[in-house]
Amino acid sequence: MSTERTAASHPLVYEPPAGIRRLEAAVALVLRVGVAISSALILVGTVMTVTASSTAREARRTVAALRAGAAHPAGLAIPRTAGDVFHGLRHAQGPDIVILGVVLLVLTPIARVAVSMFVYLYERDATFVVITAVVLTLLLTSFALG
């Protein structure tokens, strides 16, 4: 078999078909960028929240409510609608930046489905364009429910 190799000492090189390679490259890029940006925002926002005295005081109250087992703590950094996210952005305090980071993190896998759909479109793979379009629609519907 031409693909058989006995290369134990040097790393195994595997070149998938061009279509798969393009898909993998696009998906890996989206995931890496999404995770990097969102974790940086979360880190900066968290540090700002606990160091600024006004937000730290508020965070202390929220933490106390959370640890008391409150079902719906009156809340710091609990966004419910897209409006909450945009509203927070104008203030750009620690908790608002954390929220933005969390939202971008959740959007990362959704973005990789969208990008996969475009790669399949480029490959003229109609079946998988439809499959990824349905998945994307379901994902967006789940967010539109709120």
Residues contacting residue 129 through CB under 8 Å, at least 6 positions apart: 117, 120, 121
Asked whether position 104 contacts another protein by CB under 8 A, the answer is no
Q: How many CB atoms lie within 10 A of CB 139?
A: 15
Residues between 50 and 89 that touch another protein (CB under 8 A): 50, 56, 59-60, 62-64, 66-73, 75-81
- Give the residue with the Cβ less far from another protein, 2 or 90: 2
Using CA atoms, how far residue 121 sits from 105, 108, 126, in Å, is 25, 20, 7
* Pairwise CA distance, residues 16 & 10, whole Å: 19
Binding residue for another protein (CB under 8 A) from 89, 92, 126, 138? 138
Q: Which of 54, 109, 118, 122 binds another protein (CB under 8 A)?
A: 109
Which residues have CB under 8 Å from 42's CB, separation 6+?
Answer: 98, 101, 102, 105
The CB-of-125 to another protein minimum distance in angstroms stands at: 8
Q: Which CB, 3 or 18, lies closer to another protein?
A: 3
Nearer of residues 90 and 127 to another protein, judged by Cβ? 127
